[in-house]
Amino acid sequence: MRCPFCAHEDTNVVDTRSNPGANVVRRRRRCPSCDKRFTTYERVELRMPRLVKKDGTRADYDREKLVGSMMLALRKRPVATEAVDAAVDRIEEKLRSLGEREVPTSRVGDLVMRELAKLDKIAYIRFASVYRRFETPDDFREAVQEVKAGRRRRR
């Protein structure tokens, strides 16, 4: 593994931890050249289904885009990055378990909504306002009532 700080070709593994449920191996590494430490993650690479957008176009699944949209909804909220990563892992597992080659983006949006509702109610409402295209204050009021009642509206 190349050092991200000094680009030295060889690094030492200091600690290895596996997470069997998530199929992830976490490795702490140290560069012998600059003596800096960094973390790498190894994941089983399984092909994710392609996404079918509302207009019918297809796009490759992008984990970083999913994390980015969730982090935008969670901006300035007290949710740990590890919790977001775990939520994204659960979403990806559900997508893989569908066994389909293509999945509508609305399905991904529903999975994100479900995970955000577990993580943070405010982030859920933020995401819902964009995902469901809220246009009036009543739309927000309904979403708040759903959160208070502990239910989520189906599209």
Q: What is the pLDDT of residues 19-62, one digit of tens each?
A: 877 778 999 999 999 999 999 988 776 788 999 999 999 999 99
Q: Is the pLDDT of residue 155 over 70?
A: no
* Spatial separation of the C-alpha atoms in residues 37 and 3, rounded to whole Å: 9
Q: Examine the domain organization and report whether 70 and 4 are in the same domain.
A: no
The pTM assigned to this predicted structure is: 0.63
Q: What size, in residues, is the chain?
A: 155
Our count of domains for the chain comes to 2
* Spatial separation of the C-alpha atoms in residues 72 and 75, rounded to whole Å: 5
- pLDDT of 127 reads 84
Q: Is the pLDDT of residue 130 over 90?
A: no
CB-count burial class (<10 Å; 0-12, 13-18, 19+) for 127 = buried
CB atoms within 10 A of CB 64: 8
Task: Kindly report the average pLDDT of the chain as a whole number.
Answer: 88
Q: Examine the domain organization and report whether 40 and 8 are in the same domain.
A: yes
Q: Examine the domain organization and report whether 51 and 87 are in the same domain.
A: yes
Q: Examine the domain organization and report whether 100 and 142 are in the same domain.
A: yes
Which tokens in the block code for residue 49?
């289904």
Residue 5 and residue 38 in contact, taking contact as beta carbons nearer than 8 Å: yes
Q: Is the pLDDT of residue 148 over 80?
A: no
Question: Residue 137's domain spans which residues?
Answer: 47-149
Q: Examine the domain organization and report whether 56 and 82 are in the same domain.
A: yes
- pLDDT of 27 reads 95
